[in-house]
Structure formats: C-alpha cells, structure tokens
Amino acid sequence: MRVGKGASVADFVIHEKMIRRSSEFSNKALSGSWREAQDQVVHLPEYWATDFDIYHRWLLEGRLYSQTPDPSGPMVALMSELLVLQPLSDLGHFLQDTDFLDTISDAILQCAKELKAMYGCIPINYGSDFFKFTPESSRIRVLVADLVVWTETKDVFKDLKQEDNHPDFVMALLNAMASKFQSDGSAMSPLDSRKSNASTTAMGSRSSATGQL
C-alpha cells in the first residue's frame, strides 16, 4: 500500500490475503485487470501515512492505537482522540472495511462515555465536521448526532444557530433531539445501548499510541 504523495509518501507491506479479506476496496483493486493487481501496489494519495499506520497496526494486532496522553489532562486527550477518529473513519469508508468502521464506532462511543463521566460533551462543531468525512449512508453519522445530543450540557439549539453546520448534520441532530425529547423519557441513550464494554471491539481494544492502556 502506497499512502500519501510527494515527500510524505510511505509504503506499507501487507499480506495480500489479509488486506483483501478486510477491505472490499483492496479486494477489488487487487483483482482482475486493474493496474494495482498487476503491480501489486494499491495507491492512496489522498490519505496520511500516520492514519494508515493506525489502520495497519489494527490489522496486525487487533488494537486501535488512537489515544495519545496529553499533559493538559484526560479530557483534552479524549477530545484529541475524537479528532484522530475523524480521518480514520474517512479511511475506513474508502477502504470499505466494515470491521474497522465498527471499531471506530466503538471508540467514538467510549470517548463519549468517558467525556460524559467528566461532565464533558461532544461539541456541535465536531459533529458537523465529522459529517464532512462520511458518506450519507454511514451509520456512524447517526451515532455521532445521537452522542452530541445525549452528551451536550449546554443549549443545543443556541449552539446550532451559532455554528456553520453541515446541513446533513443539522437534520440528523434535529431527528436525534426529537427522538430524545418527544419520547417521554423512554428513549434509550446510545451511551447505554450496548451491553458490552465499548472499548472491546470485534477486532480488539482501544489502546494508547504508546502502548496498551
């Protein structure tokens, strides 16, 4: 896999069976008469090598190295991790890797749970920016909009008016708010909707960039 362009390009050597089994895009690219199939090199010029390295390590180890300790404290570290998960989601959708996208969803959910425990929230602008990196059919869009509503501690409507938000995000947020506030308290929060620990995914667990937490 050749990732990036110019001076930032990097090559990743991955067993063909592994990448084809995990990524539908790679499976198609390495099949038939495509140039990639002949050269045995798949080019990803629009993505950063640092992001693909996280994906590569996830393929090999089953762990998502999305966390980086921050001297400013755990809340800042969680917000930084959410920013890392945005381009990883974009990469996962492009590669058409459903297991990786499930891992990303679990990591976002776990970040939201930890932020909520610290009386933090997923900001409106994060949710809006996330929609820029995901296709319309992505289930992660619904999850992000729900988490913004269920973790937000301020006036959601006030922030919604002030921010330059992605139109699809606005609609998803309104739907999430309607579901929450018109349910007479019966709506289930996405923070409580998964029985298993969200830090444990189909492929492994969420870990620090410097090692397992």
Task: Write the DSSP symbol of residue 43.
Answer: E
In a domain, 188, yes or no: no
What mean pLDDT is predicted for residues 181-208? Answer: 55
pLDDT level of residue 201 (50, 70, 90 thresholds): very low
In the block, which residue shows the tokens 């090999």?
Answer: 60
Backbone angles phi, psi at 200, to 5 degrees: -105, 120
In a domain, 113, yes or no: no
Distances (CA, A) of 35 to 1, 22, 42, 91: 13, 20, 9, 21
CA distance 114 to 104: 15
In a domain, 7, yes or no: yes
For 43-88, what is each residue's pLDDT tens digit? 899 999 999 999 999 999 999 999 888 888 889 999 999 999 999 9
- H or E segment to which residue 125 belongs: helix 124-131
In a domain, 201, yes or no: no
Residue numbers of the domain that contains 15: 1-48
In a domain, 130, yes or no: no
In a domain, 75, yes or no: no
pLDDT level of residue 116 (50, 70, 90 thresholds): confident
What was the pLDDT predicted at 97? 97
In a domain, 22, yes or no: yes
Beta strands 64-67 and 206-208 are: parallel
What was the pLDDT predicted at 207? 63
Task: Tell whether the model's pLDDT for residue 209 goes beyond 90.
Answer: no
Classify residue 193 as left (phi > 0), alpha (psi -120 to 50) or beta: alpha
For 138-166, what is each residue's pLDDT tens digit? 999 999 999 988 887 666 666 666 668 88
Task: Tell whether the model's pLDDT for residue 212 goes beyond 50.
Answer: no
Distances (CA, A) of 147 to 124, 143, 152, 193: 10, 6, 8, 11
CA distance 144 to 167: 14
In a domain, 166, yes or no: no
For 13-37, what is each residue's pLDDT tens digit? 999 999 999 999 999 888 877 676 6
The tally of domains found in the chain comes to 1
Beta strands 43-44 and 10-11 are: unpaired
Q: Let me know: does 213 contact 67? Beta carbons within 8 Å.
A: yes
